[in-house]
Amino acid sequence: MWGFWPADAQQRIRLRDGRMSVSVRMMLCLGVLWLLGGSAPVLASEPTTALPAHGSAAATDTEGLVPVGIRVRGATESMAAAEIRSRVLRVWSLPSSSLEERVERTIRAGYQLGMQDLEAPARALLISPELGEPLERARSAARLAPSLPASRAAFARALWDDGQWQAGARELSAAIRAVPAHLEASLWARVTVWQAWFLAIVGGALLFLTLVAAISIPAWVRHLSAIREDLPGSSRFAMVASLLLLPAVVGEGPAGVAAAMVFVAAAHGTFWRRAVVALSAAAFVVALYPVLQQSSEAQAALGSDPAAMAAHAAEHGFPSADELARIEWAGSEDLLAARALALRAKRTGDLETAARRYAKVVEASGYPSADLLNNAAGVALALDRTDQAIEHYERAAKRAESPLLLFNLSQAYGKAIRLDAQDLALAQAQAIDASAVGLLTGEFGATALGLVADIPIPASATRARLQGSEGGDGLARRARSRIAPGFLGTGMSQALLVFGIAFSLGACLGLWLARIVGEETDAYSDIARILKSRGGDPAARMVRIAQIRDRQARRARFKRVASVLIPGAAGVLAGRPVMGWLGATLAASILTLLWLGSATVPDPLAIGGLAGIVGGLGVATLGLAYLSMLGLTLAMKERS
């Protein structure tokens, strides 16, 4: 798509290419070798089959496009790709009085090739400020590529900057809805969402377990002092700390430390606190296995099937030479590649080849999809096989409710001079989406040929193919080995067993210690015991009570500060463990969204500013929810 870049960038590229051109000395050496009986290498840009005559610009644009090792078929398809690209490029480069006029011409040129989305010029508009004002460029990009989330998000931001909040919200909604239908955007979103789920669940569980374990340590120290009075306080604290770090020392990693925290936290507290501790442990194991597995499979799908990605690119835009070479190589056995080659043949004008290829794909599919039938019907209509085209369109219209399909069917009815059927098909299409039919009628109805639109392969079909490929297991194992390098990382059942044993032992030990040592007392019970005591100096008793009250006040101040500064601490300190776990999870989710803003997989030039907008809205929403929960928890604590 480099032809859509600004003129100064093109000039820099041409100067660089000039420095990299073949020198005269190399040409002389090749000539000497040929005279000595060798053979000069075949230039990859020489076509082996004739292409439809559309000017000679394509021949110069395809020099060096073919990768090494692809000679005949790769060169032919590269020439075809350059020819298709040059048609749109010539229209885009024509002098125009305004950007709107240029965009209108380019959209019409794309429709004449059966392409409804022109992502290359849309992306060029988004990153080229010299082409116009931001709002004008964003609006034009959204018109050129309405299915590209990046263009819709840029339009939404431009509308907001212009003060059009309601229109901007509608465009943002359209950008979000466009993500599942766009392959690269949906793959990126799937990876990001699963990564966010994993980090939020793991972070919330670890934060909550850390808080509960930290609160349980004083009770452990008190119980150890009752059992071993000769141990100093520092030794008792060191024993508990070593118990927490022992799993990491033996090679179980952070997951082992989490299991030790479950053991320590389950030994003390109420029934509900122990129940939430068990829930946090289960959430940690679920995140470590099913959620991490899904995240790894989504990441592996990004590069698991180059042929499927190449076929998708060939149908949706201007693929590169190596992508065309891949689908040419796989076209005899791969249905996705075969249908992509058929569509490329139609766009380059080789209708007979396109018809033969579509016939084979339709037959091999068994139950062909609506988009495949639509494209095959378009080729038949261009070859004046109107009855066959109508048959395909009618089959497609029964399998999918689409205004574009019905519009194409009306065009076929019109060519067969079946005017009543044409009007009925148009009326049905308008009932589904009148604006889309109006756009199609304005663009296609003004042409002398009565063109019909192609429907590229849906993102869902390609995504299902990518997700069905293997490769996520290895990524999941490597990621899991960093958290659970030992026994806990060998399987989900093993992890559940270890965490279950840790929780059971901790709960049983806590009940046994409470029976021996007694329940933990608070400041009010200590004061009551002193007041009930008889004998002794009353002044000493009052000093002791004052000390207890001062200690209680210091603890209360510490708890208030900790409740505000430490996420989840308010619920745990207030005796509301569910609120503490939810607060810790919300805080982990906020940190995850902030971190993923720069640490997720790179944007494939499909999301654009949508990630920042959605991430910012997510952080604001979760932040408001966390503050609301914090205020509610503090209010409940004060009331109790």
Whole-angstrom CA distances from 383 to 19, 144, 180, 351, 422 are: 47, 28, 34, 7, 20
Mark out the alpha helices in 457-522 (DSSP H runs).
459-467, 472-483, 492-517
pLDDT tens for each residue of 534-563: 656 677 767 777 777 777 777 778 888 888
DSSP 106-166: HHHHHHHTT-S--HHHHHHHHT-GGGS-HHHHHHHHHHH-TT-HHHHHHHHHHHHHTT-HH
Rounded Cα gap, residues 625 and 427, in angstroms: 48
Residue pLDDT, tens place only, 405-459:
898 898 899 888 898 998 999 899 888 888 878 777 765 554 444 567 788 888 8
Q: What percent of the chain has pLDDT over 90?
A: 34
Q: What is the pLDDT of residues 267-316, one digit of tens each?
A: 888 889 999 999 999 999 999 999 999 988 888 887 778 888 888 888 88
DSSP three-state, residue 593: helix
Say what the pTM is.
Answer: 0.74
pLDDT of 37 > 70? The answer is no
Residue 101: pLDDT band (50, 70, 90) is confident
Q: Is the pLDDT of residue 530 over 80?
A: no
Fold for the domain defined by 319-452: 1.25.40
Question: Of 480, 498, 499, 478, which is closest to residue 489 (Cα–Cα)?
Answer: 480
Report the alpha-carbon distance of residue 54 to residue 528 in Å, rounded: 100
Average pLDDT, the chain: 79
pLDDT band at 533 (very low <50, low <70, confident <90, very high): low
Cα–Cα distances (Å) from 93 to 99, 113, 237, 532, in that order, read 11, 17, 76, 97
Q: Where are the domains of the chain?
A: 2-131, 186-301+474-519+567-639, 319-452
- Encoding tokens for residue 635? 């209010």
Question: What confidence tier does 510 reach under pLDDT thresholds 50, 70, 90?
Answer: confident
pLDDT digits (tens, 9 = 90+) for 346-370: 888 889 999 999 999 999 988 899 9
Task: Report d(CA 97, CA 459) in Å as an integer.
Answer: 37
Question: What pLDDT, on the 0 to 100 scale, is given for residue 534?
Answer: 61
Longest CA span, the chain:
124
Q: pLDDT for 220-277, tens place per residue?
A: 877 776 666 666 667 777 778 888 888 888 889 999 999 999 999 998 888 899 999 9
Report the C-alpha dihedral over residues 95, 97, 101, 103, rounded to 10 degrees. Answer: 60
In this model, does residue 503 exceed pLDDT 70?
A: yes
Measured at the CA of 260, the angle between CA 249 and CA 258, to 5 degrees, comes to 90
pLDDT digit string (tens) for 173-202?
999 999 998 988 999 999 999 999 999 999
Q: How far apart are CA 302 and CA 184, in angstroms?
A: 8
Reference 272, options 577, 533, 560, 518; nearest CA is 577
